[in-house]
Amino acid sequence: MANDTAAEPKLGTYICTGCGLGDALDIEALEKIANGDPKSSTCKTNAFLCSDEGVKVIRDDIDGEGVNRVVIAACSGRVNQDVFAFGDDVVLDRVNLREQVAWCHTPNDEETDALAQDYLRMGLVKNSKSSIPESSVTQEVYDTLLVIGAGATGMQAAIEAAKAGHKVVLVEKEAELGGYLRTLHRQLPQRQPYAELSEPDLARKEGEVKAQPNIEVMTSSEVVKISGQPGLFTALVKRDGDEVAMQVGSVVLATGASSYDAAKLDHLGFGASPNVVSSDTFEAMAKSGKIVRPSDGRPATSVAFVLCAGSRDPDHLPYCSSSCCATSLKQAAYVREADPVNGRAFVFYRDMRTPGHQEYFYKAMQEDEGVFLTKGNVTEVKPVGANQVSVTAEETLLGGPITVEVDLVVLATGIVPSTLENDILALEYRQGAALPDLKYGFPDSHFICFPYETRRTGIFAAGTVRAPMDIANAYIDGGGAAMKAIQAIEYARTGIAALPRAMDPTYPDFGLDRCTACKRCTEECPFGTLNEDEKGFPQLNINRCRRCGICMGACPERVINFQNYSIDGTSSQIRAIDIPSEDSGKLRFLAFMCENDAYPAIDMAGVKRLQYDVQVRFVPVRCLGAINQVWIADSLSGGFDGVMLLGCKHGDNYQCHMIRGSELAVERLGKIQETLDRLGLEAERVQYIEFPISEYQRFPEIVKGFVKHINKIGPNPFKGF
């Protein structure tokens, strides 16, 4: 889909001599390269290219001379993006002579110049192989948001989106709005000084929802199918046996969580006495105004709360459920409210986790003379007689094991995301109907960088389905996810990528005529972008695509290419690197580096003027998963002595922006190493190196280690072929 009607390519190359580049590098040699092949129609040097005059030089060439391709050999492409911005009609490439050449290598050195020249050649080649993408937008997108679940999060998401002018369909499976809010007797304090419980927000939020003409509420309804892509989803909602199809632009999943099954907590006495209940049951008791012992219906004046009941326990829920500490304190207040003279609430906690304003409430509850708090491990909960229960805890603040006898024991059960056992969305996606989870069933996509983002573009998780949280945070989540959902519609409307390559107008182009339907791309795409037709050929849903290039890395037939990132483009770049002869004693290494983390890390090393081996040539890639094996084969057969893949952590707590890129790279590396063995090349010539951004200081050492290793093996025997 490259733009065939584009004008004749006319290349301008601009070399900056500022920032010490002019003093460190042989600029004339660079100019010579610019005038070689591919030949620039104009090549200019400037002492201060990012100044107004410098930029004007380029601008004038574009406007006056019809230059439509620009190569800037100067600073890192990560800086001055706003300065060197020439619009969508110009193919722009930045050659990093500053952070990755002049600032980290010996000035006026033959090898440093060789490096700069290689990079300029690579830049020129890449530019010549790139084209302007044609718009991927094929039809008008839908503006409506689908919000699933009308609890605190869902109602908030609907309200915020409606206020922003979008139509919202709010689907709730129960007959009434409210979700968890509806079950509450009281809510945690919401106002200064955060000491007094407040009435549940239900009525207020319900009122706000109903007052919004933009919100269409569908209760007793369930989503039975979602197909399509951001901007162009079709959702099938079942209500009263009827299925209603609706067209929506994006989806907010706010189906919340359920309580952990107390029946699994027999070690905490559940089941041993009717007077051991879960916090949900206790909340219901309080709501009905009867805090009583189920055994005989007499008022329960002394109540013990056992926190982390199931949570933070590797045998149950390994995580902190985040809200049960505060909930238990709230329920302790119910006990005191019911009987201010004799009411006693014992709270056994593992750590009192009351983040944010909850801390004030904790302090306030601590002041209550009838609330008894201690850290401790509850070791035994057992019935005493028919109506009492004893709770024994060890390692308490009172100095040793203690036992209290109470009327009622409340287990502060943790929470389980509603997506754990239920697909809910019923996605018509090749990779399955469910949202992939990050951990423990929470369908988050990345642990810190991209909140609300799931691994299905245009579908956002918010509230307790995303992570354990309290109501205050659920509201924040609802609002945040609504904004992201609107943004997703806007991206689809303009045909640009969402996070993490936000605004990228390029996209993968599938040369289906040569595709063998091997299905690797459809299987490996981390975002479920590709469906398959009946014959197994990939079908691109462009708005789901995050432009990571992992499909391109996967494709054995090499038929997937981006407009500015292609198999041939990168192969040509690799070939543009000059390989010195074996007798020169100079080695050459290729380093594919992930643009998201490794690239800025190496820039940082340059900014800090760290010096490292000059024999390495970097090839930035969209993701380590976007390295096609042919490039590695090309570089080894082309005479490179070693190849590094610099990428992020994978596996548990991965940091890969594309979820599975570095993991796939390692997996694929295993395969290529077999091939190398067969060729008689040492497998260690190609290595994956985990290189987190925070460890840029270690970069010189990392390179040194690798070079040393290759030195031991000796130069590539294929050199000179």
Residue pair 597/623 in contact (Cβ under 8 Å)? The answer is no
Cα gap 395→376, rounded to integer Å = 5
Partnered with residue 590 across adjacent β-strands are: 617, 643
Cα gap 525→545, rounded to integer Å = 9
Piece of the chain touching ligand SF4 by CB under 6 A; list 275-283, 438-446, 546-554, 678-686: 546-554
Q: Which of residues 345-364 bind ligand SF4 (CB under 6 A)?
A: 350-351, 353
664 binds ligand SF4 (CB under 6 A): no
Piece of the chain touching ligand SF4 by CB under 6 A; list 32-40, 141-149, 160-168, 307-315: 307-315
- The option from ligand SF4, another protein, none interacting with 551 (CB < 5 to 8 A, set by class) reads ligand SF4
Provide, rounded to whole angstroms, the least separation between the CB of residue 325 and another protein: 14
Burial call 434-467: b when 16+ CB within 10 Å, e when fewer: bbbbbeebbbbbbeeebbbbbbbbbbbbbbbbbb
* Furthest CA-CA distance within the chain: 96
427 binds ligand SF4 (CB under 6 A): no
Provide, rounded to whole angstroms, the least separation between the CB of residue 281 and another protein: 25
321 binds ligand SF4 (CB under 6 A): yes
Answer for which of 549, 620, 638, 639 binds ligand SF4 (CB under 6 A) is 549
Q: Which of residues 209-268 bind ligand SF4 (CB under 6 A)?
A: none
Provide, rounded to whole angstroms, the least separation between the CB of residue 358 and ligand SF4: 9
- The option from another protein, ligand SF4, none interacting with 372 (CB < 5 to 8 A, set by class) reads another protein
How far, in whole angstroms, is CA 317 from its chain's centroid?
23
For ligand SF4, which is the closer residue by CB, 444 or 524? 524
Provide, rounded to whole angstroms, the least separation between the CB of residue 559 and ligand SF4: 12
Answer for which of 529, 564, 571, 572 binds ligand SF4 (CB under 6 A) is 529
For another protein, which is the closer residue by CB, 340 or 432? 340
For ligand SF4, which is the closer residue by CB, 320 or 666? 320
Helix (H, G, I), strand (E, B) or coil at 247: strand
Q: Which of residues 497-516 bind ligand SF4 (CB under 6 A)?
A: 508
Q: For tokens 């380093």, name the residue.
A: 591
- The option from another protein, ligand SF4, none interacting with 527 (CB < 5 to 8 A, set by class) reads ligand SF4
Partnered with residue 701 across adjacent β-strands are: none
For another protein, which is the closer residue by CB, 402 or 666? 402
Residue pair 382/389 in contact (Cβ under 8 Å)? The answer is yes
Answer for which of 24, 416, 525, 587 binds ligand SF4 (CB under 6 A) is 525
Answer for which of 141, 215, 324, 648 binds ligand SF4 (CB under 6 A) is 324
For ligand SF4, which is the closer residue by CB, 16 or 499? 499
Residue pair 218/167 in contact (Cβ under 8 Å)? The answer is no
Provide, rounded to whole angstroms, the least separation between the CB of residue 389 and another protein: 14
Cα gap 283→412, rounded to integer Å = 11
Exposed, middle or buried, 651 (CB in 10 Å: 0-12/13-18/19+)?
Answer: exposed
- The option from another protein, ligand SF4, none interacting with 399 (CB < 5 to 8 A, set by class) reads another protein
Residue pair 663/650 in contact (Cβ under 8 Å)? The answer is yes
330 binds ligand SF4 (CB under 6 A): no
- The option from another protein, ligand SF4, none interacting with 325 (CB < 5 to 8 A, set by class) reads ligand SF4
Give the H/E segment covering residue 126: helix 110-129
Cα gap 362→636, rounded to integer Å = 63
Cα gap 275→255, rounded to integer Å = 31
Piece of the chain touching ligand SF4 by CB under 6 A; list 241-249, 293-301, 304-312, 645-653: 304-312
Q: For tokens 């580096």, name the residue.
A: 593
Provide, rounded to whole angstroms, the least separation between the CB of residue 356 and another protein: 18
- Sheet strand arrangement including 276-278: 276-278, 408-413, 302-309, 344-349, 371-375
Answer for which of 275, 311, 473, 531 binds ligand SF4 (CB under 6 A) is 311
551 binds ligand SF4 (CB under 6 A): yes
311 Rama class: left (phi>0) / alpha (psi -120 to 50) / beta: beta
Piece of the chain touching ligand SF4 by CB under 6 A; list 4-12, 201-209, 524-532, 682-690: 524-532
DSSP result, 566-619: -HHHHHHHHHTS----GGGT---EEEEEETTTHHHHHHHHHHTT----TTEEEE
For 10, phi then psi, to 5°, come to -135, 110
- The option from ligand SF4, another protein, none interacting with 363 (CB < 5 to 8 A, set by class) reads another protein
Piece of the chain touching ligand SF4 by CB under 6 A; list 47-55, 100-108, 416-424, 525-533: 525-533
Quick one: which of 479, 500, 476, 632 has its CA closest to 553? 632
523 binds ligand SF4 (CB under 6 A): no
561 binds ligand SF4 (CB under 6 A): no
Cα gap 257→684, rounded to integer Å = 48
Binding-site residue total for ligand SF4 (CB under 6 A)?
A: 27
Provide, rounded to whole angstroms, the least separation between the CB of residue 188 and ligand SF4: 12
For another protein, which is the closer residue by CB, 364 or 521? 364
320 binds ligand SF4 (CB under 6 A): yes
Provide, rounded to whole angstroms, the least separation between the CB of residue 623 and ligand SF4: 8
414 binds ligand SF4 (CB under 6 A): yes
Beta strands in 157-292 (DSSP E): 168-171, 215-218, 221-229, 232-239, 242-248, 250-253, 257-259, 276-278
Partnered with residue 620 across adjacent β-strands are: 593
Piece of the chain touching ligand SF4 by CB under 6 A; list 305-313, 472-480, 588-596, 665-673: 305-313
The binding site for another protein (CB under 8 A) comprises 341-342, 344, 363, 366-374, 392, 394, 397-405
Residue pair 542/229 in contact (Cβ under 8 Å)? The answer is yes
Provide, rounded to whole angstroms, the least separation between the CB of residue 153 and ligand SF4: 18
Using only the alpha carbons of the chain, give its radius of gyration.
Answer: 31
Answer for which of 147, 412, 496, 498 binds ligand SF4 (CB under 6 A) is 412
Answer for which of 303, 550, 593, 672 binds ligand SF4 (CB under 6 A) is 550
Burial call 302-339: b when 16+ CB within 10 Å, e when fewer: bbbbbbbbbbbbeebbebbbbbbbbbbbbbbbbbbebe
Where do contacts with ligand SF4 occur on this chain (CB under 6 A)?
Answer: 307-308, 311-312, 320-325, 350-351, 353, 412, 414, 508, 525, 527, 529-530, 545-551
